[in-house]
């Protein structure tokens, strides 16, 4: 994974008011810490930082006052409504050291006919070199039959990584596709168990008209 250079500015003012001013200037407040260093509060360029963080586990090279620091985003706080990053915690990393990160699961291939592929674990925890974090773990389901369960320990991991997630964790589950009739039967059974009753459908107009003379005849 290549490094993304970001030019940061040191922050001397803190608090909600100062953070709002930084964001109004299209920058993002952040703090850098780790490896026994004192926390450093910085402001990052807004657009460039948001673009960099579109890649999971992006390795950032923070340029500050003539120094360079490699970091990973530890925590990204986002506005719940607007597409805005409010604050970032950045942890210092060193070249060659191992870090534990969440890596996305990427499913490839087509399973056997009339099957359903369910991804039970969207990410896996791996130990990897900070400068060689894989973008994803590939899981192939090509031709896989119903009843197959692929666990974390079954996967071929990217070179240089180790599995931290429990090897017994279910990653992909391949099941038989249920027919429409069986689905309706299951739904009806579930509704019956829950005590759900459906109203009888109203008679069509033609049927109602046909029933009326018969009723009159009975009364006569």
Is the C-alpha dihedral spanning 69, 72, 77, 81 positive or negative?
positive
**Nearest-angstrom CA–CA distance, 32 and 130:** 16
Q: Reduce the DSSP state of residue 206 to 3 states and report it.
A: helix
Structure tokens at 143: 């031709």
User: Per-residue pLDDT for 36 more than 80?
Assistant: yes
What is the 8-class DSSP label of residue 157? Answer: P
Between 187 and 99, the higher pLDDT residue: 99
Residue in 141, 145, 156, 150 with CA at minimum distance from that of residue 169? 150
Range with lowest mean pLDDT among 19-23, 143-147, 187-191, 209-213:
209-213
Strand (E) or helix (H) holding 90:
strand 85-92
Q: Are 175 and 149 in contact (CB under 8 A)?
A: no
| Model pTM score | 0.73
Domains in the chain, start-ordered, CATH in brackets? 3-93 (2.40.240.10), 99-176 (2.170.120.20)
Model confidence pLDDT, tens digit, residues 114-126: 899 999 999 999 9
Predicted pLDDT of residue 192: 76
Q: Are 41 and 10 in contact (CB under 8 A)?
A: yes
Q: Reduce the DSSP state of residue 182 to 3 states and report it.
A: helix
Task: Note the residue count of the chain.
Answer: 220
Model confidence pLDDT, tens digit, residues 128-157: 999 999 999 999 999 999 999 999 999 999
**Nearest-angstrom CA–CA distance, 117 and 195:** 32
């Amino acid at each position: 994974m290549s490094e993304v250079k970001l030019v940061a500015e040191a922050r001397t003012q803190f608090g909600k008011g100062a953070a709002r001013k930084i964001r109004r200037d299209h920058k993002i407040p952040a703090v850098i810490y780790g490896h026994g260093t004192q926390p450093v509060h910085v402001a990052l360029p807004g657009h460039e930082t948001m673009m960099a963080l579109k890649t999971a586990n992006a390795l950032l090279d923070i340029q500050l006052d003539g120094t360079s620091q490699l970091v990973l985003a530890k925590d990204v706080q986002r506005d719940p409504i607007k597409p805005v990053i409010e604050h970032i915690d950045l942890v210092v990393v060193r070249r060659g050291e191992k870090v534990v990160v969440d890596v996305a699961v990427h499913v490839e291939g087509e399973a056997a006919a009339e099957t359903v592929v369910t991804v039970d674990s969207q990410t896996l925890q791996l130990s990897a070199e900070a400068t060689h974090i894989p973008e994803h773990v590939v899981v192939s389901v090509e031709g896989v039959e119903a009843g197959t369960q692929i666990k974390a320990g079954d996967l071929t991991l990217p070179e240089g990584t180790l599995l931290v997630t429990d090897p017994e964790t279910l990653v992909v589950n391949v099941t038989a596709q249920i027919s429409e009739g069986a689905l309706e039967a299951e739904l009806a059974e579930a509704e019956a168990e829950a005590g759900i009753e459906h109203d009888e459908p109203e008679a069509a107009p033609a049927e109602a008209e046909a029933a009326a003379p018969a009723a009159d005849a009975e009364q006569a």
